[in-house]
Chains A and B, each alone.
Chain A
Amino acid sequence: MLELQDISFKRDGKHILDHVSFKFDAEKFYVITGPNGSGKSTLAKIIMGIEQPDSGKILLNGKDITHKKIDERAKLGIGFAFQQPVQFKGITVYDLLKIASKKEIGTKEACQLLSKVGLCAGEYLDREINSSLSGGELKRIEIASVMAKNPSVSIFDEPEAGIDLWSFRSLIDVFKQMESYAKGITIVISHQERILAIADQIIWMDQGKVKQVGSKNAMMHQILTSEKACPKGVMTCE
């Protein structure tokens, strides 16, 4: 179980996270949603240790990990897919999957991982993780690296961001599969209705706080009817 206790994070005088508390249960698929600037990505980064909270505690299976570094949390079982996949010079897709798996995986195993995210493995293993790959390909490789790590807490920060419609469709299938077999906690930050529809629980964030939590059935309609392009409401923006 992963527990956030009273997490606050303030930058430039603004409360990005404002006393957030929440318990994530094992074997559940969570989607965190909310408007831009509501603190979703910051919350994900705080769980991975990329950002440090100003106050509050993070407990993983009862153990305080608040002051653990990124690699220490990774070793304890937390995995994180970056919103903007990181590119490398000289490091191949196969290299990254081997690093993530923590062992010398064979090409067959690496190919299986890439197939899970919808990539024709043979074409990709020896490719460098650089700008010669499209946004959708980089995103899927990023997701495959987290799957290769097989963490007990998997965090995906806006997996749909920056990818085309066709890639998005197959991404949905990846998450549907993940929801059906994942053993640990899965946390996806997303704005997408089709990802929200996979969730066991939806966490709705607004202005640095958890506004509401509930099942997709209870939450979907409410979220979709409340979201407006303009904060003042579409009708008043003319």
Chain B
Amino acid sequence: MNKVDESLLHEVLDQDVRKADAYNIRKNGKGIERKSNPNIEIVPKEDGTGLDVYVKENTLFGIIHIPVIITESGLTDVVYNDFHVGKNANVIIVAGCGIHNGKHKDSRHDGIHRFYLEEKAKVNYVEKHYGEGEGTGKKELNPVTEITLEKNAYLSMNTTQIKGVDTTLRVTKAKLKEGSTLIINEKILTTGTQQAKTDFVVTLDGEGASTHVTSRSVAEESSYQEFTSNVIGNKKCYAHVECDAIIKDRGSVKAIPEIYAKDVDANLIHEAAIGKIAGQQLMKLMSLGLSEKEAEETIIKGFLK
């Protein structure tokens, strides 16, 4: 681990990876450090394509870090991480990918994370994407998240991608059984000519299942974002999808909402709003002494908080 590696880790995790109860650090396609404990076991897949993380039932307050760093220009890294969370367990999983591309070749990471939460299991999943480097090579991240929630399980997923990543396609698919809950909060800021597409498909199969998907995004300069969500209610269930986007300069955002109720008691809501920063908001902050630029930065920082 050199200074660039440590700095990338810090950007992705905001905390010391080695203080977690269990962790695995993957660098340039290979696991370089790993720790398990009696309740949380991290096992590399036999073919080297990823990990299986096993959380024993009734494990409380475990913290798991699964960061990926890529510093080799021209590398395409595909990884499959499967999380098996036992009954009544309650853990925090922090994942993310930091790319430093200092050269001209494109670097790419496709992380496929699959979550299997057993009955009443609870997971807070945090994921951060970060790209840096003075090279002309592109930084591409394509995360796929597949979620299966058993009866009364709960998963909250917070994802953040602020600048730095040239191309992203995020796909999230979830199947929710009886009484389970899925909360998704997504924050994206694109700039330059960056492109980010997110695609959510949530199927509410069980009675009393619920989901709340919130996407807040800012598209600056000539960047482009696309938000697609598809929520299907098969039983008595509740879903609320919110897509809020601020566009600046020549930025553009497309929101494609789809909700499909297949049960008379399915209550599905979709809200989408795209627009520039409201003039009234700028005026209020300027009346408190902020310059127009400072006011704009404050509004965006709050929006993506």
Contacts and interface: CB of A to CB of B under 8 A. Distances in A.
B302 A149 contact: no
Contacts of A89: 216, 244, 302-303
Contact of B289 (A74, A82, A91, A96): A74
Contact of B284 (A86, A90, A102): A86
A91 B302 contact: yes
Nearest to A84: B280
B269 interface: no
B63 interface: no
A49 to B, nearest CB: 8
A70 interface: yes
B289 A149 contact: yes
B281 interface: yes
Interface stretch (B39-47, B81-89, B291-299): B291-299
A99 B298 CA distance: 9
Interface in A57-74: 69-71, 74
Contacts of B281: 86, 88
B287 A90 contact: no
B247 to A, nearest CB: 15
Q: Which interface class (under 10, 10 to 19, 20 to 34, 35 or more) fits B?
A: 20 to 34
Given A88-B299, A88-B302, A89-B302, A80 B289 contact: no
B299 A91 contact: yes
A71 B283 CA distance: 8
A145 B287 CA distance: 10
B298 A91 contact: yes
A90 B304 contact: yes
A34 interface: no
B288 to A, nearest CB: 5
User: Which secondary structure dominates where chain B touches chain A?
Assistant: helix
Contacts of B287: 48, 50, 70-71, 74, 78-80
A206 interface: no
Interface in A83-102: 86, 88-91, 95-96, 99-100, 102
A75 interface: yes
B286 interface: yes
A100 B288 CA distance: 5
A50 B289 contact: no
Contacts of A50: 283, 287
A74 B286 contact: yes
Contacts of B3: none
A82 B285 CA distance: 11
A71 B302 contact: no
A145 B299 contact: no
Contacts of A78: 287
Contacts of B278: 86
Interface string A189-214: 00000000000000000000000000
Among A90, A95, A102, find the residue whose CB has the most chain B CB atoms closer than 10 A. A90
B291 A71 contact: yes
Contacts of A100: 288-289
A163 B292 CA distance: 30
A233 B241 CA distance: 53
Given A50-B283, A99-B298, A74 B288 contact: yes
B19 interface: no
Given A89-B216, A100-B288, A102-B289, A70 B283 contact: yes
Contacts of A149: 288-289
A90 B289 CA distance: 20
B300 to A, nearest CB: 9
B284 to A, nearest CB: 4
A2 B94 CA distance: 56
A203 B278 CA distance: 32
B284 A82 contact: yes
Nearest to A145: B288
A79 B216 CA distance: 31
A71 to B, nearest CB: 4
19 contacts: A69-B286, A69-B292, A71-B287, A74-B286, A78-B287, A79-B287, A82-B284, A86-B278, A86-B281, A88-B302, A90-B303, A90-B304, A91-B299, A96-B288, A99-B285, A99-B288, A102-B289, A145-B288, A149-B288
Which 8 pairs from chain A and chain B are nearest by CB?
A90-B302, A91-B302, A70-B286, A86-B284, A74-B289, A71-B286, A90-B305, A100-B288
Interface of A: 48, 50, 69-71, 74-75, 78-80, 82, 86, 88-91, 95-96, 99-100, 102, 145, 149
Given A70-B283, A79-B287, A90-B305, 12 more contacts: A50-B283, A70-B286, A79-B288, A88-B302, A89-B216, A89-B302, A90-B302, A91-B299, A99-B289, A99-B298, A102-B289, A149-B288
